[in-house]
């Protein structure tokens, strides 16, 4: 339905989608700093351009013109590969998000949800390899933390989605949104929603789960040795990751593009935007947990909770009327 | 679709070759990951998107990450790499290579004579896989889950005894 | 868990608080007259230099940023040169406290950045202002007993005539 049938049309769709995602990521760096500022009773960057909106451009120019430096002790190939993986995986994952029935690159993929999880799983490599290739103990510690954290939280993230898949009866994201026409899944799957969002924060290693970076104890963690545009790619990857998790939560739990009066695309944008703002609020409000607290929180609280969620959902579906 | 299949198949073979010959363990693991991703693409092209997604999520996304994790922790240096290269003597690799070559010839001849099953036209969806797993392959799934449970218990036990010894 | 949610809520409420930031270059903050900023050398109401080169400021300075040399002209003492290295100065105000003639004073001005660090060494012509600073009526030579041209001994304010030690009269 949404697929352009010509190759040119498809390419145009992809290029436009990527350009839009990159532009939004750049804008998001500014939005985050501005919003963080207001949450902390200050202004944030307000110098470059109207309301400081050109700050993103200024940062981009600065990153591009910095010296492209590979430390002599690093593993050069892997060192360059890692930031590319970071950016490419999130951008690939963004392709399956159906913003509206017609806007989206491959929103109709029949295993869209699994594809999203797969790209999330590959995203781990960027952090792990960056940590290893930097050949620096802080980076390595960051990479080790990231590997353990992201592999663990991926499990809960995937399991939290099983409830949604059971209710919708499909891995196709467009179908999942269609099945939320009457009731958003955040209501019947509230536990899944919370756990998916927590897993999303851990996957994008955003605060408060930013232990792989952990400025206070690891310098900058896995990207200690990165500078210039290679750091910029991690940066863009992180911000597109935020957009990705927010958009995914919207699609899976908040009814995607459904909403009264306003056009579908706007509804999708509003919901995603609010979730992104919540990400930023989390960063402003919460301190970083200790590493063992993070892991035991995941394995001892979230895992039983997700399994229970699946059990209860399944039992209710068997007991109640057959899903249509 | 045919071109996608051929390209990803060639990538898979080349990546596997590179993986065998790399002296650095992390590089070898990376090539193995590429090979797994190419295999996933092959699955996808052959009409098994569910299997392809699982290949990426479980093999590339979880198991290989843990391998990389362990290798990172071990921090194998130049010395180990040098030692590995001394082990790669012709006497070590000639036997397996001949066997692998025989398999390759067999596969090639099958492909030439058209003995290989044509790619299924229908897509094997998640539902079909699920029904197959809890239907005809129930016993295999249960045995595998027993094995995993045993592994889990053993890992837990080993982990405990190590912390107690400290 | 609940406390985290509460923290989130309170942080969210801060969105509607007033920003505490003062947009400095556009919006100048009020500085009290006694704020310790750039150091100046003042003149007495007659327009002459107040500084008498007593070196007390240089002695009091904890970071030794003041340097001067005394010279004399018609009975008045002047600094031949007087330089303050503002890259060393910590704006503690001890020089002002030590000064017996109210010559050296700290002003509320603090915008004195330079691209070249050498430019932060202020010489006497940079330091000397034409006004009297915080003490508009004070004139050291009017209250001191020292004789200068135009004012002999005993002619200062609240000063008695010098005692003629050779006289027997009280």
Q: Judge whether residue A1 has pLDDT over 50.
A: no
Q: Do B26 and A78 touch (CB under 8 A)?
A: yes
Q: What is the value of pTM for the model shown? A: 0.79
Q: Residue B145 sits in which domain range?
A: 136-166
- Contact residues, chain C, for A39 at CB < 8 Å: 11-12, 14-15
What is the pLDDT at residue C26? 86
Whether residues B56 and B18 share a domain: the answer is yes
Q: Do A151 and B65 touch (CB under 8 A)?
A: yes
Asked whether A252 and A187 are in contact (CB, 8 A), the reply is no
Q: Which of A69-78, B147-156, C137-146 has the highest mean pLDDT?
A: B147-156
Whether residues B28 and B49 share a domain: the answer is yes
Lowest mean pLDDT: which of A6-10, A307-311, B139-143?
A: A6-10
pLDDT digits (tens, 9 = 90+) for A90-142: 888 888 888 877 777 776 777 788 888 888 888 888 888 888 888 888 888 88
CA dist., res. A92 & res. C165, Å (int): 105
CA dist., res. A197 & res. A200, Å (int): 5
What is the pLDDT at residue B52? 84
Residue B62: which of A115, A143, A154 has the nearest Cβ? A154
Asked whether A78 and A133 are in contact (CB, 8 A), the reply is yes
What is the pLDDT at residue C158? 84
Asked whether C71 and C78 are in contact (CB, 8 A), the reply is yes
What is the pLDDT at residue A298? 86
What is the pLDDT at residue B89? 72
- Residues with Cβ within 8 Å of residue C13, at least 6 apart in sequence: none
Judge if the upstream peptide bond of residue C146 is cis by omega within 30 degrees of 0: no
Domain ranges of chain C: 33-137
Whether residues B115 and B142 share a domain: the answer is no
The first and second tokens of residue B59, run together, are 């093999």
Residue at B131 is within a domain: no
Q: Which of B66-80, C51-65, C154-168 has the highest mean pLDDT?
A: C51-65
Q: Residue C105: phi, psi to the nearest 5?
A: -140, 150
pLDDT digits (tens, 9 = 90+) for C100-111: 999 999 999 888
Question: Bridge-partner residues for C82, per DSSP?
Answer: C68
A282 part of contact set with chain C, CB < 8 Å:
yes
How close B94 gets to chain A, by Cα (Å)? Answer: 30
- Contact residues, chain B, for A81 at CB < 8 Å: 30
If you average pLDDT over every residue of chain C, what do you get? Answer: 89
Residue at B129 is within a domain: no
Q: What confidence category does residue A4 fall into, taking pLDDT thresholds of 50, 70 and 90?
A: very low
Average pLDDT over residues B135-163: 86
CATH no., domain C33-137: 3.30.70.3270
Residue B56: which of A81, A121, A132 has the nearest Cβ? A121
Q: Do A121 and B60 touch (CB under 8 A)?
A: yes
Total residue count of chain C as it appears in this document: 170
Domain ranges of chain A: 73-319
What is the pLDDT at residue C119? 92
Average pLDDT over residues A197-224: 83
Q: What confidence category does residue A13 fall into, taking pLDDT thresholds of 50, 70 and 90?
A: confident
pLDDT digits (tens, 9 = 90+) for A28-82: 989 999 998 888 888 888 888 888 888 888 888 988 898 888 888 888 888 888 8
- Contact residues, chain A, for B30 at CB < 8 Å: 78, 81, 129
Whether residues B12 and B86 share a domain: the answer is yes
Lowest mean pLDDT: which of A49-63, A282-296, B89-103?
A: B89-103
Q: Do C7 and A286 touch (CB under 8 A)?
A: yes
- Contact residues, chain A, for B50 at CB < 8 Å: 111, 114, 171
Q: Which of A205-219, A256-270, C35-49, C155-169 has the highest mean pLDDT?
A: C35-49
Q: What confidence category does residue B121 fall into, taking pLDDT thresholds of 50, 70 and 90?
A: low
Residue at B118 is within a domain: yes
Residue A285: which of C7, C18, C21 has the nearest Cβ? C7
Q: Which of C12, C13, C22 to mutate to test the interface with A (most CBs of A within 10 A)?
A: C12
Total residue count of chain B as it appears in this document: 166
Q: What confidence category does residue B75 fall into, taking pLDDT thresholds of 50, 70 and 90?
A: low
Q: Which residue of C has its CA nearest to A283?
A: C8
CA dist., res. A196 & res. A117, Å (int): 11
Q: What confidence category does residue A324 fall into, taking pLDDT thresholds of 50, 70 and 90?
A: very low
At least 3 CB pairs under 8 A between chains B and C: no
Q: How many CB pairs under 8 A join A and B?
A: 80
Q: Do A41 and C21 touch (CB under 8 A)?
A: yes
What is the pLDDT at residue B50? 82
CATH number of the domain where residue B42 is located: 1.20.120.1200
Whether residues B78 and B155 share a domain: the answer is no
Q: What is the percentage of chain A residues whose pLDDT exceeds 70?
A: 97
What is the pLDDT at residue A85? 87
> Neighbouring chains of B at 3+ CB pairs within 8 Å?
A
Q: What confidence category does residue C90 fall into, taking pLDDT thresholds of 50, 70 and 90?
A: very high
Q: What is the percentage of chain C residues whose pLDDT exceeds 70?
A: 100
Residue at B147 is within a domain: yes
Residue with tokens 């362990």: B70
Q: Residue A207 CA to chain centroid, in angstroms?
A: 13
Q: Strands, E, within B70-127: which ranges?
A: none
Q: Which residue of B has its CA nearest to A81?
A: B30
pLDDT, greater one: C60 or B101: C60
What is the pLDDT at residue B88? 67
pLDDT digits (tens, 9 = 90+) for C5-40: 898 899 889 888 888 888 888 888 888 988 999 999
pLDDT, greater one: B92 or B149: B149
Q: Do A128 and B65 touch (CB under 8 A)?
A: yes
At least 3 CB pairs under 8 A between chains C and A: yes
Q: What confidence category does residue A2 fall into, taking pLDDT thresholds of 50, 70 and 90?
A: very low
Q: Do A281 and C17 touch (CB under 8 A)?
A: no
How close B158 gets to chain A, by Cα (Å)? Answer: 18
* Cβ-based neighbour number of residue A285 at 10 Å: 20
> Neighbouring chains of A at 3+ CB pairs within 8 Å?
B, C
> Neighbouring chains of C at 3+ CB pairs within 8 Å?
A
Q: Do A158 and B53 touch (CB under 8 A)?
A: no
pLDDT digits (tens, 9 = 90+) for A133-180: 888 888 888 888 888 888 888 888 888 888 888 888 888 888 888 888
The first and second tokens of residue A233, run together, are 């790619």
- Residues with Cβ within 8 Å of residue A143, at least 6 apart in sequence: A127, A128, A129, A130, A131, A132, A212, A221, A222, B72
- Contact residues, chain A, for B53 at CB < 8 Å: 111, 114-115, 117-118
Residue at B81 is within a domain: yes
Q: What confidence category does residue B33 fall into, taking pLDDT thresholds of 50, 70 and 90?
A: confident
Q: What confidence category does residue A18 fall into, taking pLDDT thresholds of 50, 70 and 90?
A: confident
Using CB atoms and an 8 Å cut-off, which of residues 22-81 of chain A contact chain C?
37-43
């Amino acid at each position: 339905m949404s697929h352009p049938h010509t190759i040119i049309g498809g390419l145009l769709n992809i290029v436009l989608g990527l350009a839009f995602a990159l532009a939004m990521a750049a804008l998001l760096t500014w939005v985050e700093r501005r919003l963080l500022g207001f949450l902390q009773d200050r202004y944030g960057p307000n110098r470059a351009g109207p309301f400081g909106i050109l700050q993103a451009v200024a940062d981009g120019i600065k990153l591009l013109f910095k010296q492209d430096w590979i430390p002599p002790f690093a593993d050069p190939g892997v060192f360059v590969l890692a930031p590319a993986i970071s950016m490419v995986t999130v951008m690939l994952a963004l392709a399956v998000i159906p913003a509206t029935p017609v806007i989206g690159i491959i929103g109709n993929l029949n295993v869209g949800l699994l594809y999203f999880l797969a790209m999330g799983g590959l995203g781990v490599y960027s952090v792990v390899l960056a940590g290893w290739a930097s050949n620096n103990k802080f980076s390595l510690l960051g990479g080790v933390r990231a590997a353990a954290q992201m592999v663990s939280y991926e499990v809960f993230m995937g399991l939290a989605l099983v409830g949604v898949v059971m209710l919708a009866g499909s891995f196709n994201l467009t179908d999942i949104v269609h099945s939320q026409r009457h009731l958003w899944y955040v209501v019947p799957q509230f536990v899944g929603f919370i756990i998916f969002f927590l897993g999303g924060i851990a996957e994008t290693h955003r605060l408060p789960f930013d232990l792989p970076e952990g400025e206070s104890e690891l310098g900058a963690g896995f990207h200690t040795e990165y500078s210039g545009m290679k750091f910029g790619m991690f940066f863009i990857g992180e911000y597109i990751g935020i957009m990705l998790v927010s958009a995914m939560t919207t699609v899976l739990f908040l009814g995607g593009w459904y909403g009264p009066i306003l056009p579908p695309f706007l509804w999708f944008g509003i919901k995603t935007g609010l979730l992104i703002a919540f990400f930023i609020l989390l960063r402003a409000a919460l301190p970083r947990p200790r590493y063992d607290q993070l892991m035991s929180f995941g394995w001892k609280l979230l895992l039983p909770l997700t399994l229970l969620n699946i059990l209860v959902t399944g039992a209710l579906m068997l007991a109640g009327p057959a899903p249509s | 679709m045919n071109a996608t299949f051929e390209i990803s198949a060639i990538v898979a073979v080349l990546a596997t070759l590179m993986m065998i010959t790399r002296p650095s363990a992390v590089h070898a693991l990376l090539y193995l990951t590429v090979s797994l991703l190419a295999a996933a693409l092959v699955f996808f092209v052959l009409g098994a998107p569910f299997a392809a997604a699982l290949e990426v999520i479980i093999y590339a996304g979880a198991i290989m990450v843990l391998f990389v994790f362990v290798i990172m922790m071990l921090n194998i240096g130049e010395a180990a790499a040098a030692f590995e290269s001394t082990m790669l003597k012709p006497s070590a690799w000639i036997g397996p290579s001949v066997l692998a070559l025989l398999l390759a010839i067999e596969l090639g001849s099958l492909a030439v004579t058209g003995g290989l099953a044509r790619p299924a036209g229908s897509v094997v969806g998640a539902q079909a896989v699920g029904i197959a797993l809890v239907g005809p392959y129930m016993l295999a799934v249960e045995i595998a889950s027993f094995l995993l449970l045993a592994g889990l218990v053993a890992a837990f036990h080993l982990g405990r005894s190590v912390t107690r010894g400290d | 868990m609940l406390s985290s949610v509460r923290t989130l809520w309170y942080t969210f409420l801060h969105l509607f608080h007033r920003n505490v930031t003062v947009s400095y270059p556009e919006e100048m903050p009020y500085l009290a007259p006694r704020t310790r900023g750039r150091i100046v050398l003042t003149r007495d109401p007659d327009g002459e230099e107040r500084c008498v080169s007593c070196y007390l400021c240089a002695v009091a300075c904890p970071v030794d940023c003041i340097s001067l040399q005394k010279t004399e002209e018609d009975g008045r003492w002047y600094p031949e040169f007087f330089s303050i290295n503002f890259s060393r100065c910590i704006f503690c105000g001890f020089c002002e406290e030590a000064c017996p003639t109210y010559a050296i004073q700290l002003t509320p001005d603090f915008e004195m950045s330079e691209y070249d660090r050498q430019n932060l060494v202020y010489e006497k012509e940079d330091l000397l202002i034409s006004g009297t600073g915080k003490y508009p009526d004070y004139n050291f030579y009017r209250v001191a007993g020292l004789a200068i041209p135009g004012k002999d001994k005993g002619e200062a304010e609240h000063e008695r005539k010098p005692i003629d030690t050779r006289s027997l009269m009280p």
